[in-house]
Amino acid sequence: MNFDLTAEQKMIRKLLRDFAEGEVAPDADERDRDKRFPKEIMEKMAELDLMGLPFPEKYGGGGADTISFAIVVEELSRVCASTGITYSAHISLGCAPIFLFGTEEQKKSYLIPLCQGETLGAFGLTEPGAGSDAGGTKTKAIKNQKDWIINGSKCFITNASFANFVSLTALTGEDEITAFIVPTDTQGFTVVDNYFKMGLHSSNTTELVLEDVRVSEEAILGERGKGFKQFLVTLDGGRIGIGAMAVGIAQGAYELALKYAKERKQFGQSISRFQAIQHKLADMAMEIELARTMVYKAAWLKDQGRKFTKEASMCKLFASEVAMRVCSQAVQIHGGYGYMHDYKVERFFRDAKLTEIGEGTSEIQRNIIAREVGC
């Protein structure tokens, strides 16, 4: 299997490398300190027609493939993981379920503005008592004549403060979960942004509170009772995004560590001359390359219309654990300076942890892989 990039993919990589270096990187540390959302960056990405990159042009998308999407997430995350996860969640969790399961009318009403960058995409599955056990959903939607009345809450939801609508799940019967598209300005819908997080400080992570939120029958996304299965399919694609994000974080931390090792002098020579440091850097480079290849494989399978559940979990699991190892070693190579904010690797280290949790924990990924190989 050959993963030589196509001319279009190479063009996207160059565009995003230049964009990330010129527009995203300069203020990344300041945004992290101030917990400031990268709104202006998302607006500039919309101007570059990137906000609907892997979706058909008829819906305002770019008609590109999943590998191209992974490249964008990696390049953004290489300098600012908060920006990377904002984009990844917008595409893979916000846009994707509407594209995959929405009616033509829903795609025109919701997917087009998402692809054009008029709003950000958000996806509401996790609840305070339903994390890894997403089937433990407690949010309920009760039919009242022609409308549905939704009550419940969601937690750890990315982008919702900047979303005009959210796709979310609710119980519509005993053991029956249905997905709905709910405008965030609906009466009784509250988005709460008050989390104090370990990392990804400039991404938007919120709680959703729904109190007698009324939506019509047309708000159902896909088929009634199929919401849980639909969102599992959505998460497979989301794991490619998290894998790409992890590769980007690892690549950024590795590059900083390599640069520092060449510049830092100890005992009369740069520390890059010491075998202990060389071996750390060699392992980092090797694991990043392997993780990237696994992400591309999962993306390629998705683009071929082939089953990719196992590979999505593998790429997400492996890349996230690589990111943690690489960032830890990058801090170690920097020594005391690695613990300081000004040297950036501490931000990468904090941001990397989420990749082992989001879109299913490492433990859940191992469960999925075990199931897929026939255990």
CA dist 65 and 37 (Å) reads 27
CA dist 370 and 358 (Å) reads 19
Radius of gyration of the chain (CA): 21
CA dist 186 and 228 (Å) reads 23
Q: Which residues pair with 269 in a beta bridge?
A: 266
356 is catalytic: no
Contact partners, residue 90, CB within 8 Å, separation at least 6: 42, 51, 114, 120, 121, 159
| 3-state SS track over 22-34 | HHHCCCHHHHHHH
Catalytic residue among 23, 127, 356, 359: 359
Contact partners, residue 93, CB within 8 Å, separation at least 6: 121, 122, 123, 158, 234, 238
Nearest alpha-carbon partner for 338 in 271, 272, 284, 260: 260
* Structure tokens that stand for 40 in this block: 């202006």
Are 187 and 120 in contact by the 8 Å Cβ rule? The answer is no
- Segments of the chain assigned E as strands: 123-124, 140-144, 147-158, 165-173, 176-183, 189-192, 205-216, 220-221, 265-266, 269-270
DSSP strand pairing (140-144 vs 189-192): unpaired
Residue with tokens 């988005």: 191
* Structure tokens that stand for 368 in this block: 């999925």
Residues with a known catalytic role: 359
